[in-house]
Chain A
């Protein structure tokens, strides 16, 4: 195959003040953030997190994405290869645009969270027509 093959992205652990009380890993999810004229879109990669385990907060322009996993029990299994470890996810962003908090939409599919943060009306670009005299 001539195309570039995808590589595993090593998960980054959360570094912050305050120690976790649970003996599980906490990762920073990889994200894509892109902005259109109407909204700011956030895609966050959180494999292993179910729809119910996602928590999103927007407070004082700080957007917090939190994903918790239900630890799986694999009794009587021996490890032959281990390249990933389940853990919870946490990431915070400062949202500069004025976001319409009422209309935030979030969907979770196949381990990827999609957040649509619509901008409030005044922030939308307005086209100003130039009229001839």
Chain B
């Protein structure tokens, strides 16, 4: 949903606005942020953020970390996911043929797009994917406004 603020609507039309918009879209195209998810490598874990009218949903792909060992904290409107992956064996007698899984500490912070009710946040883990449900604060929930006739 595109939000148009009053400030965005200029009184006089910028004749270059369309060209600027075109340039931005082309830039976005070459950055690969179109249909391809991810595109660029960022900090682990990969996140999907969804919203509906009442909640924000943050889904993080954290395979190989037991659910109890993932630290999730919120400070203001910054959500932080922290933990450590210990898939590497410490056994020195083994020889590796392939080593593609990375292990070590990770921490990722995201700024939430809306105010949330901090005390009602829930997190649940299933098969390496953690779903965090953040109920939106009453102030930012969409509300129907009735039109009175009379």
Contacts and interface: CB of A to CB of B under 8 A. Distances in A.
Interface of A: 1, 3-10, 30-37, 41, 43, 45-50, 74, 76-85, 108-112
A103 B127 CA distance: 25
B1 A78 contact: yes
B64 A112 contact: yes
B115 interface: no
Interface string B105-135: 1110010010000000000011111000000
Nearest to A75: B52
Contact of B93 (A36, A45, A48, A82): A36
Given A6-B106, A110-B63, A110-B66, A33 B98 contact: yes
Interface residues of B, number: 52
B145 to A, nearest CB: 21
Q: Is the interface of A mostly helix, strand, loop or mixed?
A: loop
Contacts of A84: 37-38, 46-48, 61
Interface of B: 1, 37-38, 41-53, 56-57, 61-67, 85, 87-89, 91, 93-107, 110, 113, 125-129
A77 B134 CA distance: 13
A110 B104 contact: no
Given A43-B101, A83-B46, A83-B47, A77 B57 contact: yes
A91 B100 CA distance: 13
Contacts of A8: 38, 41-46
A110 B101 contact: no
Contacts of A30: 100-101
